[in-house]
Chain A
């Protein structure tokens, strides 16, 4: 294909521009330069004739650039017209000629000085909106639970079992592994540092109380937020994107009853069980390290554990578990329903779901710590 050219020469009536070569997308960059130079160098007051005889190929790019030249002339009070346009390109040129003349409105931009202030304000408003959405979801779930209690036949038992299998049973191996390792690490660190001042025996107190009161439930809840909360958000989000939730609504079914309540109940059942299993695995790991690294026989470890921990410590950990599950479930489902049409928004809401639920789990843990301290538990 021949390179395109545009040569200006004085003609009988104003300036004649002779176009030649292939005016196609492959040469669009050159053509853009040619047209711009021509627009700049041609005197605005003289009429211009563009001779298209020697143009060997023309596509929408070439046609548009010619049209851009013509429009630039017309805007500057000059005149321009085309001559010798091959017939086969006439329809194409007319198509391009008929396109809208106004430029596309630029995407809305906020003023840069006020930008940060505006963003801060928007974020604050959004925070309250999100808090409202969380409260609304909690209310909807409680209402749905009320309906399920007054009319047990309406409760979706099979999906609940399905979700319980996914978030509970299938999570057991990974939860056991993680909490076991955490138990090992706490015990090892305890022995390493306590040994310096001969407090080996108190490692068991530390492991026991820490695991049962805090670490067991916290680790399991955080894992749950990452493993199951994110899955809930992604599932509900893609259902929202594909209008499945709207379809459910039009069939007279409340998505909270059908999709959300079974998921949250499954979490609330699964998290205490996993917390119990996780705490046991952590204590087991601690005992193993005490035996192998601390030189404490299993019999003594169990004996010390019996003295150090009371049922209260165990209860404190277990009482927190269902509340954390509720927070994770509510956040995951709220974010899931907040997904808009785009793939990007699905990713954003899933991230937000995990970050928020972990944050809220830790805040809740702090509140519980204050509460239990004030009732001497």
Chain B
């Protein structure tokens, strides 16, 4: 059933000049799951995300998001799809000339025709859900700390209650407690809204606690995809060193003890 696959990437090739960054990447993300992508620095994770959302042109292959091929879609179709996804950029990418509240309201103003009161309330509710204090709602992005910027960016990504959310390293730069809360929040929203989450992460804790499936990107290819157990069984050297490294082993054994 094609409807089950929210993201369907086949034989995707992306390169810059003579350099091939992604070499025939194939994977899919199913409706309602949290799919985490791991890979070393510079392995092309962010390039993959940016290619899927259409910011970087691909050389060949097909990308289907929410049942629509974005390259052949009309501008209206594209706009329709973009309204159904939310993107959290690594650096937050908040609009620096708008306040926090206006940043979250921006997609609402662009896509919906709502009374100002409801937009104010919804933006406040979203910001509250991501754990931002009321006192910070009228601040400018340049006055926010790194963690607060992430939270506001997540609130903006969720502003339209999207079906699909792209998260580029959501917990990087957060302290472990906030990162845990952030993971829990993503999980809650994902469960309650039937949200599909595509995330790029380095955080082993989030991989274990919230990701249903994990994909590993190395040498420009998806070298493994599946549950954490699949990852542990994979014999690719990079995957081995990532999931069998000292930090990973400690976490995983701890995880195995707490899980029934």
Residues of A within 8 A of B (CB): 24-25, 28-29, 32, 59-61, 64-65, 68, 88-89, 91-92, 95-96, 99-100, 102-105, 107-108, 340-344
Contacts and interface: CB of A to CB of B under 8 A. Distances in A.
Contacts of A108: 138
Contact of A25 (B112, B117, B125, B137): B112
B129 interface: yes
B161 A104 contact: no
A28 B140 contact: no
B124 A104 contact: yes
B161 A107 contact: no
Given A60-B161, A91-B191, A108-B138, 5 more contacts: A32-B118, A60-B158, A99-B125, A343-B97, A344-B96
Contacts of A65: 118
Contacts, number: 83
Interface residues of B, number: 34
A64 B122 contact: yes
A28 B138 CA distance: 24
A341 B138 CA distance: 16
5 contacts: A28-B118, A61-B118, A64-B122, A341-B143, A342-B140
Interface string B117-132: 1101110111011000
Contacts of A102: 134
A65 B115 CA distance: 13
Interface in B60-89: none
A107 B120 CA distance: 12
Nearest to B195: A59
Contacts of B128: 99-100
Which A-B residue pairs are the 7 nearest by beta carbons? A341-B142, A92-B192, A342-B96, A344-B97, A99-B128, A59-B161, A91-B192
A341 B95 CA distance: 11
B142 A342 contact: yes
A107 B99 contact: yes
B115 A32 contact: yes
Contacts of B161: 24-25, 59-61
Question: Binding site of A, secondary structure by majority: helix, strand, loop or mixed?
Answer: helix
A67 to B, nearest CB: 8
Contacts of A89: 192
Nearest to A28: B114
A369 B128 CA distance: 63
B113 interface: yes
A59 B86 CA distance: 15
B141 A60 contact: no
Given A104-B120, A341-B141, A88 B112 contact: no
Contacts of B158: 60
B193 interface: yes
Contacts of B99: 107
Contacts of B189: 95
B160 interface: yes
Given A25-B112, A61-B161, A341 B134 contact: no
Given A28-B114, A344-B96, A105 B134 contact: yes
Given A92-B193, A341-B142, A64 B96 contact: no
Contacts of B101: 104
Nearest to B192: A92
B121 A68 contact: yes
A88 B96 contact: no
A59 B125 contact: no
A305 B128 CA distance: 77
A103 B193 CA distance: 25
A342 B141 contact: yes
B178 interface: no
A4 to B, nearest CB: 14
B96 A343 contact: yes
Nearest to A103: B124
Given A32-B114, A89-B192, A344-B97, A107 B121 contact: no
Contacts of A99: 124-125, 128-129
A59 B124 contact: no
Contacts of B125: 60, 64, 96, 99
Interface in B17-61: none
A88 to B, nearest CB: 7
Contacts of A340: 142
